[in-house]
């Protein structure tokens, strides 16, 4: 039997690790494994802290590392982003609304760009909205098409007038 110097419990010698130099260690197996666990968790914290500190001191490197990771794992990253977005659709919506509020010029510019690239859709949208305002309900598709044509005809007429040689 041997008494552990840490917990003070007298235990069978099989409960102690042997050491080539000193024979049995002075602390029992249980105490040593506790001490190891303790050291591990303290160390883990230290490692995490070091990592954090390094990241703060090397922000540009971190961005490069992240970017390299994204480049190497495009599909995985995109999949994860999509999963996150579907789980957090409310958050995504809220952040989109907030972004729009904070960037009115960008919103305006992108709308103008879209309008320029999609003139037919713009005409359709205007026709739809005008009809809806007039009717007070969702206008039927045929009516929207007619209205659209009306706009286009008006535009053509205007152009024709401009091109008419003056007398
Ligand atoms: Zn012990």
Report pLDDT digits (tens) over 92-145: 999 999 999 999 999 999 999 999 999 889 999 999 999 999 999 999 999 999
Per-residue confidence (pLDDT) for residue 165, from 0 to 100: 67
Q: Which of 23, 24, 22 is nearest to 11 (CA)?
A: 24
Please tell me the distance between residue 34's alpha carbon and the centre of ligand 1 in angstroms: 9
CB 18 within 8 A of CB 24: yes
Report pLDDT digits (tens) over 80-100: 999 998 999 999 999 999 999
Q: What is the mean pLDDT of the chain?
A: 90
Please tell me the distance between residue 16's alpha carbon and the centre of ligand 1 in angstroms: 9
Report H helices in the chain.
Answer: 29-57, 59-72, 74-87, 89-102, 104-117, 119-135, 141-163
Per-residue confidence (pLDDT) for residue 55, from 0 to 100: 92
C-alpha distances (whole Å) from 143 to each of 118, 129, 138, 152 are 20, 12, 10, 14
* Average pLDDT of the segment spanning 2-8: 94
Antiparallel, parallel or unpaired: β 18-19 and 23-24: antiparallel
Ligand 1 is an ion; its neighbours by CB within 5 Å are: 4, 6-7, 28, 31
Please tell me the distance between residue 15's alpha carbon and the centre of ligand 1 in angstroms: 9
Question: H or E element: which one contains 18?
Answer: strand 18-19
Please tell me the distance between residue 159's alpha carbon and the centre of ligand 1 in angstroms: 98
Report pLDDT digits (tens) over 15-28: 999 888 878 899 99
């Amino acid at each position: 039997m041997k008494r552990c110097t840490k917990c003070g419990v007298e235990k069978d010698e099989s409960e102690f690790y042997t050491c080539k130099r000193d024979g049995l260690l002075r602390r029992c197996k249980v105490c040593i494994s506790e001490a190891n666990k303790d050291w591990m968790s303290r160390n883990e914290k230290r490692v995490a802290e070091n990592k954090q500190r390094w990241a703060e001191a090397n922000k540009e490197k971190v961005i490069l590392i992240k970017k390299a990771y994204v480049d190497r794992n495009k599909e995985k990253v995109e999949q994860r982003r999509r999963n996150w977005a579907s789980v957090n659709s409310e958050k995504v919506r809220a952040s989109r609304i907030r972004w729009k509020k904070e960037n009115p010029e960008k919103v305006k510019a992108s709308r103008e760009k879209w309008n320029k690239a999609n003139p037919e859709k713009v005409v359709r949208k205007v026709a739809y909205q005008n009809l809806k305002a007039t009717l007070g309900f969702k206008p039927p598709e045929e009516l929207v098409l007619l209205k659209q044509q009306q706009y286009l005809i008006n535009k053509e007429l205007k152009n024709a007038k401009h091109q008419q040689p003056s007398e």
